[in-house]
Amino acid sequence: MKTNNQDEETPLHTAAHFGLSELVAFYVEHGAIVDSVNAHMETPLAIAAYWALRFKEQEYSTEHHLICRMLLDYKAEVNARDDDFKSPLHKAAWNCDHVLMHMMLEAGAEANLMDINGCAAIQYVLKVTSVRPAAQPEICYQLLLNHGAARIYPPQFHKVRLCPVVSRLRETQVAALSEISKSLKLA
């Protein structure tokens, strides 16, 4: 269905953007295509993942989380890519939203997909740690490692060197590496 808006968003995109879970359920139950794309190739899942963070308040929206869960239950493509090759996981990582990241990784999101700039979700987590005070980036980082993300090594921490969270991220990385070493010794 063609719309009059420049972004070519469907009513499902709009409901996902504004966190209107009842409307999302209504539209999907009445035949809306869960993987429809707008002019930027974004799916409703990607829209909901991005808008799950209320930037001004730095709070996460449980309504947007519910919408993402519903869309995944309706078999939305978790690895759909927009015109910048960002997946919904990239958008959740940009928000440092460990709840959504866990949900998407469990639904089969690829942890190592790279966007147009060659960045994977783990790099997004590192980029935003200093501007997401309510976030728990070490949980996001560990989730990605647990799902096969390529490790980020200390020389690559230069972008977030002044961030107080870096030490917690390094501790998580060292703990993950030591667990790998232990398991290799047992084998």
> What's the total number of domains in the chain?
1
CB atoms within 10 A of CB 136: 16
Assigned domain for 148 exists: yes
Assigned domain for 65 exists: yes
Q: Is the predicted pLDDT of residue 162 greater than 70, yes or no?
A: no
What the block records as the tokens of 94 is 């940009």
Residue 15 to residue 164: CA distance in whole angstroms: 37
Assigned domain for 3 exists: no
pLDDT value, residue 98: 96
Assigned domain for 38 exists: yes
Longest Cα–Cα distance in the chain: 62
Residue 160 to residue 108: CA distance in whole angstroms: 29
Question: For the segment 42-52, what is each residue's pLDDT rounded down to a tens digit?
Answer: 999 999 999 99
Q: Is the predicted pLDDT of residue 21 greater than 90, yes or no?
A: yes
Assigned domain for 123 exists: yes
Assigned domain for 2 exists: no
Question: For the segment 71-83, what is each residue's pLDDT rounded down to a tens digit?
Answer: 999 999 999 999 9
Q: What percent of the chain has pLDDT over 90?
A: 66
Residue 42 to residue 110: CA distance in whole angstroms: 17
* Whether the model pTM is above 0.85: no
Looking up residue 23, the CATH number of its domain turns out to be: 1.25.40.20
Residues spanned by the domain of 36: 11-186
Question: For the segment 146-161, what is each residue's pLDDT rounded down to a tens digit?
Answer: 999 988 765 555 544 4
Assigned domain for 1 exists: no
Assigned domain for 92 exists: yes
